[in-house]
Amino acid sequence: MISPAITSTRPRAAWTAALPVIAAGALIAYGLTSSGYIATVLGFAAIYGVFCTGLNFFMGYTGQASFGQNAFAALGGYGSAILTDRLGLEPVLAILASMSIAGIVALVVGYPTLRLRGHYLAMATFALGLITYEITIEWTSLTHGYMGYSGIPPLGLFGYELANEKQQLVALVVIALFGVWISNRLRNSRFGRALRAIAGSEAAAAALGINVARYKLAAFVIAALYASVAGSLFAHFIGFISPEVFGTAMVVLSFTMLYLGGIGTTWGPLVGALIASLIPEVLRSTLPGGLKEGQDIVYCAILILILIFVPKGLSSLGSLWQARRSAVREG
Amino acid sequence: MSAGSSSVGATVPQTATTSAHLFEARDVSAHYGRVHALKPTSLHVGRGELVTVLGPNGAGKTTLMRALTRLMPREGSLFFEGRDVSALKTHELARLGIIMVQEGRGLFGQMTVRENLSVGGFTRPHEDEKLETVFTLFPRLKERVDQISSSLSGGEQQMLAIGRALMADPKVLMLDEPSLGLAPKVATEILETLGELNRRGLGILLVEQKAPLALKLARRVYILTLGRVAAELPADQIGSHHDLARYYLN
């Protein structure tokens, strides 16, 4: 008998397919019935979920390295801020316009950069993030430099604004789920199979007729579009952005989320974003007084333990459980 | 019997920019840094012909295959169906029908058998029909269609690699040591399947170390040593290992 661990995604039971929707519903309910602070934490998780879902296209599905997606989040964030503040655009239109700019920049930057591979590509993309960071600091007439950009309007459409964080949380979760839905559709499409073939072996993919350079560029642009949306959502959710928001810490955190949830999986990025956002809050509220000082150490220890015992990420827990159950059943 | 590029030029009337063969390489050479791993080499495959390239370890067989499919930079000219395709990239050559099964199989390990086959037919229509053809040829793949490819046995993986190449509708199929690491019985089974494909009219360029098996199938043989073609001769002219050893040592 073939083990479930080595079989593909067979048609799943209806309840399994509905699980993400139920989980999202429970999350929204929790956020709406809790304090505004919890809603803000969950909102951050949803925004990072969007960012990581995009990063997953390039790093997970296509198997490439990018340390510079924060650059496109910065483009989205500052694009939204400037377009709504100076040009008076609707937030939704500003998000779409910022996406277009980020997409074009990704196309122009990605074309030469993606000729590199491995560590060289990682360094080039890292430089992209650093350059964008410097620009946001130095171009003060446009970005307000270290002071940051404040007074960014909340999400809304046709004059209607989502006034508080709980209303915005609902919108953010819906957008994050929509992002995962698109990711899932693309992953299982002809396009997605080409990306995953490139991740498996670039030489073999090319030898079968796949234009590797073009597909890598497409994955890079898609990741940039997601990053731009995440940056814009952050700007409208918090109402303030600064260069630090889109700094190197964003890259480190998004990598943590991606590997924690399961790189290359559909739900992994969102799951990772949620867990990595919630663990510090849970520790803050549950650790006894004396241990609160070492909260970061406990947080890191938990992350390391998860990665040791569930190396394929938390979203693989289901298949691990199924494999163990069938192993027990077989004897 | 004749050796190297000159022999090819002597037996086939040709002009500088066309070729009468299905597939022809003229003075193809390749470097790894300063190392001239493949010296100017010429070879050809006719329509419906199975040609084998034999050579000891380090002779440059894999380099030759990678150079022919432009998986590495190379000099020299390449012709396919009479057309100069020297400037085409790997994926463009594949779209014309020049398909290679790499040494080590190059499977997409995290994909299922079906997904691997589907990627094989990426540039071609009528995927379902081709799937049936592959499953008829390799019934074991049909039994494992939803299995992750990295969990297959070595023989099954090789079947999948060949099946995936067939999905790409090859006109000339290049295989780099398809019997490598396989049990003798499985290796024979695989090579017999290649013989069957050749009888159906598929042009095949087969790189092998298992000389006896390859020689049974091939019509012509190129012997590669030290990065150059040491000889080109009809397969039936090689009677024993001693004959081969003579070429390898020369």
HSE-up of A285 (CA within 13 Å, CB side)?
A: 6
Check CB contact of A1 with chain B, cutoff 8 Å. no
Q: Which residue of A has its CA nearest to B105?
A: A204
- Cβ burial A65-78 (10 Å sphere, 16+ → b, else e): bbbbbbbbbbbbbb
Q: How far apart are CA B222 and CA B54, in angstroms?
A: 6
The CA distance from A324 to the nearest CA of chain B, in Å, is 17
Nearest Cβ partner for A200 among B90, B109, B118:
B109
The domain A19-330 is placed in CATH, from the list 1.10.3470, 1.20.120, 2.60.40, 3.30.70, at: 1.10.3470
Task: Say if B199 is an interface residue toward chain A (CB within 8 Å).
Answer: no
A209–B95 C-beta distance less than 8 A: yes
Q: How far apart are CA A86 and CA B189, in angstroms?
A: 72
d(CA A279, CA A310): 16
- In tens digits, what is the pLDDT along chain B, a chain of 250 residues? 333 443 333 343 444 556 678 999 999 999 998 899 999 999 999 999 999 999 888 889 999 999 999 999 999 999 999 899 999 999 999 999 999 999 888 899 989 999 999 999 988 888 888 999 999 999 999 999 999 999 999 999 999 999 999 999 999 999 999 988 888 889 989 999 999 999 999 999 999 877 788 888 898 999 999 898 988 988 888 766 666 777 776 6
**Is the model more confident about A317 or about B132?**
B132
Q: Side by side, which strands form the sheet with B50-54?
A: B98-101, B172-176, B203-208, B50-54, B220-225, B228-234
Q: DSSP class of residue B112?
A: B
Measured in degrees and rounded to the nearest 5, phi and psi for residue B159 equal -60, -40
Burial class (CB in 10 A: 0-12, 13-18, 19+), B47: middle
Between strands B228-234 and B23-32, the pairing is: unpaired
**Can you read off the two tokens belonging to residue B239?**
């009677």
Residue A4 or residue A154, greater confidence: A154
Cα→Cα distances A166→A32, A33, A81, A231, Å = 6, 9, 21, 19
Closest-CA residue to B178 (of B192, B167, B199): B192
Q: Which residue of A10, A204, A210 is in closest CB contact with B106?
A: A204
Global ipTM: 0.85
